[in-house]
Amino acid sequence: MLDLSKHSDRELRNIIAHEAEHARQWHSADLLLAEIQKICLWFNPFAWVHQKLVQENLEYLADRAVLDSGFEKKQYQYNLLNAVLQARELPLTNSFARSLLKKRIQMMNREPSHYLVWGKYVAVVALVYLSSAFVAPYREQIVELAPEVIKPLVKPLVGEVILPPVVTQDSVSNSVKNEEASPLPLHATLADQVLDTVQSAKQPKVKGVQIVGQTLYWAIMPMMTWDDINEIKAEVQKFGQEFQINQLQFDPLQKYITAVSVRINTKNGFGTGEEHANSEFEPMKGYSGYISEQGSGMGQLPPDPLGKEMEQDYQQSLAIAKKNEVAYFEYKLGQSLGTHTASTFTRQVLTGASAENFYNKNGFGKSADNTLHVSEYHKNATFYLNTNPSTFTELNNIPFSRVERITLLEDNARRKYIVVYAQ
């Protein structure tokens, strides 16, 4: 059941369009077949995973169909976000479930596959072909290990078996002489390679982890994902301790972490610590600590190179926050208005084939002087240029080439708020 009072008119249009695409494409049949497969193959874990993947893919297909039908992508994503974050109870359907929201937005923003992607598949095929060379020395063993019944089938598949040369006493002597004449003996080279491999294995290639001697340094960075954090948990567990995340908050667009609370359980007790940004729209700087046989600690900056990686991650998140500051401002403004409607118009819409009709209907367009043209109809609205208060006159003097998009918000009292995003 859809509660009309909890969604704006635009959100309702998006939701209805989304669900109509599910019905038009017969997605219920796909879900039913996936469910039947899961029931019949309940003992196979891949059947459960397949059912979930089918469900996610149907959401992607419905989203793509809605966008292809003419809905503005950014506005559709904002409405998805508002529909989820404003919910007060568990949804009865999975269309706008929180768990899929981030994946759906990422899928909508993906660029079409470049022709170079096909080159990757060609490279994979070539790699598989080359790797068959490593199997060649063991073809005879493969044939011998195969059951008698299928040996006639296996032998043609592995190809002609080339037997290794017979080793004689003379060949062994010649090999020893050549080894003694070599400036770097073969066994020494192999030993060095093995030693290098062992030393490299001691240093896990895990984001946010650095091991120095018997001490593990860890760091939770703003650009980390849950997969990154789970890998840190696994490395800490190898040191005989338990790493827990009591709280993890992301920004409204799910771009970076804004707050984290950590707990480490040891044999002698536990320790907790937390880090958070100044607001829900800013990234946290990161939180780090160490674990050793003598104990553990939190809040200390890790040594390099982990310390540098932590700072670089923070700077990257700051750049993303700066890039999306207008979107966060619009989100915060919408929250302060309570129940409201919101419409976003891109520069392409304002200059399209129906630009004149669009201006007559919505009051936004391009003037003869190549500036933004806001109709007198909106003169009493509250205006913002990016995130700063503005005026009706100022907005009408902005060069149209700078305008990226316009968002119009209207509360229940019919008060209007206009946000112009200009470069």
168 or 346: which leads in pLDDT: 346
- What average pLDDT does this structure show over 316-333? 92
Within a domain: 186: no
Residues 225 and 306 in one domain: yes
Residues 338 and 388 in one domain: yes
Within a domain: 340: yes
b vs e for 13-26, b when ≥16 Cβ sit within 10 Å of the residue's Cβ? Answer: ebbebbbebbeeee
- Please state, in angstroms and rounded to a whole number, the distance separating the CA atoms of residues 379 and 111: 39
Within a domain: 179: no
Residues 318 and 387 in one domain: no
The count of C-alpha atoms lying within 13 angstroms of the C-alpha of 392, restricted to the half-sphere facing its C-beta, is 11
Residues 318 and 219 in one domain: yes
219 or 80: which leads in pLDDT: 219
Residues 338 and 371 in one domain: yes
Residues 319 and 214 in one domain: yes
Alpha helices, DSSP H, located in 86-162? 98-109, 115-135, 139-145, 151-158
Residues 315 and 359 in one domain: no
- Please state, in angstroms and rounded to a whole number, the distance separating the CA atoms of residues 344 and 325: 16
pLDDT tier, 235 (very low <50, low <70, confident <90, very high otherwise): very high
Supply the range of the domain harboring residue 130: 120-158
- Please state, in angstroms and rounded to a whole number, the distance separating the CA atoms of residues 357 and 334: 27
- Please state, in angstroms and rounded to a whole number, the distance separating the CA atoms of residues 268 and 276: 28
Q: Give the model's pLDDT for residue 42.
A: 85
Percent of the chain with pLDDT strictly greater than 90: 39
Residues 52 and 89 in one domain: yes
Q: Tell me which residue of 111, 103, 17, 20 sits closest to 55, measured CA to CA.
A: 103
Q: Find all residues with CB under 8 Å of 120, minimum gap 6, and list them.
A: none
* DSSP state letter for 346: E
Tokens of 186: 């073969």
Mean per-residue pLDDT of the chain:
78
Within a domain: 204: no
Residues 238 and 342 in one domain: no
pLDDT tier, 193 (very low <50, low <70, confident <90, very high otherwise): very low
- Please state, in angstroms and rounded to a whole number, the distance separating the CA atoms of residues 163 and 152: 19
pLDDT tier, 11 (very low <50, low <70, confident <90, very high otherwise): confident
Residues 51 and 62 in one domain: yes
56 or 114: which leads in pLDDT: 56
**Predicted confidence (pLDDT) per residue in 286-309, tens digit:** 999 998 877 788 988 899 999 999
Q: What is the CATH number of the domain that holds 362?
A: 2.170.130
**Predicted confidence (pLDDT) per residue in 14-73, tens digit:** 788 888 888 888 888 888 988 898 888 888 888 888 888 888 888 888 888 877 777 777
Within a domain: 127: yes
pTM of the model: 0.49
Q: Give the model's pLDDT for residue 91.
A: 46
Q: Give the model's pLDDT for residue 77.
A: 74
Q: How far is CA 330 from CA 167, 185, 208, 215, 378, in A?
A: 78, 69, 33, 45, 18
Within a domain: 198: no
In the chain, the number of structural domains is 4
Contact 373, 359 (CB under 8 A): yes
Q: Give the model's pLDDT for residue 408.
A: 94
Within a domain: 182: no
Residues 303 and 218 in one domain: yes
- What residue type is assigned to position 143 of the chain? V
**Predicted confidence (pLDDT) per residue in 125-181, tens digit:** 566 555 555 545 555 555 555 556 555 655 555 454 444 444 444 443 444 344 343
Residues 308 and 362 in one domain: no
Within a domain: 185: no
Q: Give the model's pLDDT for residue 230.
A: 93
